[in-house]
């Protein structure tokens, strides 16, 4: 389209749900009828509500209206690793697909043919305000008590699961953008006896927001 220009922002923050995006609007003045744009820590930031799931997340990341150097996934996730607790903030610096299986053709579990075995964020080398940092998994199915042990066996380094991060990481890989996930654990995939199973969505969303703001203010 003649005259079409993308808006360049320093960071895009993407949340799957409006409830996860709401805390960001409490700390800065976002405005706009499309992607909301505001400032955090002196940075121009676009706030996007993608919708839940891999396709929705990929479509939002591939949207041509905004351009950026860093795409940051915020909100909530499910705790997978044994050391994860409800309320912890997990920095996803590596990402893989939960249900991708082309191992019959020599690919690693979680790898899409022709794509990296793990998507890696260069932010893995940064100091990130999170309780844990490492591998997160994404899929369109929930990990429950029925399949959590198999998932841990298949991906022994995975910390948490969600339904968006890896799709975002794949789009960013194709677009040449950096990415990072900073999400708070709202529930546990396989809680042990006596553990808290979940916290309210808004509480986890605020924890994610606080981590994102702290990170951006230090950039």
Active site amino acids:
20, 187
What span, in angstroms and rounded, lies between the C-alpha atoms of 74 and 189? 19
54, 99 Cβ separation under 8 angstroms: no
The phi-psi region of residue 165 (left if phi > 0; otherwise alpha if psi is between -120 and 50; otherwise beta) is alpha
Tokens 């703001």 sit on residue: 213
Task: Using alpha carbons, select from 97, 92, 196, 189 the residue that is nearest to residue 146.
Answer: 189
Tokens 């909100």 sit on residue: 75
The tokens describing 38, both together, are: 């505001």
């Amino acid at each position: 389209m003649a005259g079409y220009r993308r808006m360049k922002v320093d960071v895009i923050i993407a949340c799957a749900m409006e409830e996860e995006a709401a805390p960001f609007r409490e700390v800065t003045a976002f405005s706009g009828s499309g992607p909301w744009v505001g400032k955090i820590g002196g940075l121009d930031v676009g706030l996007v509500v993608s919708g839940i799931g891999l396709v929705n997340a990929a479509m939002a990341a591939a949207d041509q209206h905004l351009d950026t150097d860093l795409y940051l996934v915020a909100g909530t996730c499910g705790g997978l690793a044994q050391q994860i607790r409800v309320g912890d903030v997990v920095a996803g610096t590596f990402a893989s697909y939960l249900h991708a299986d082309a191992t019959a053709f020599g690919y690693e579990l979680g790898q899409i043919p022709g794509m990296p075995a793990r998507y890696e964020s260069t932010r893995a080398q940064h100091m990130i305000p999170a309780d844990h940092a490492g591998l997160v998994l994404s899929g369109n199915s929930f990990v429950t008590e029925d399949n959590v042990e198999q998932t841990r066996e298949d991906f022994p380094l995975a910390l948490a699961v969600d339904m968006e991060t890896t799709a975002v990481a794949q789009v960013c890989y194709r677009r040449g953008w950096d990415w990072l996930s900073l999400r708070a654990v709202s529930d546990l995939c396989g809680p042990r006896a006596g553990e808290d199973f979940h916290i309210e969505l808004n509480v986890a969303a605020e924890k994610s927001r606080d981590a994102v703001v702290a990170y951006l203010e230090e950039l």
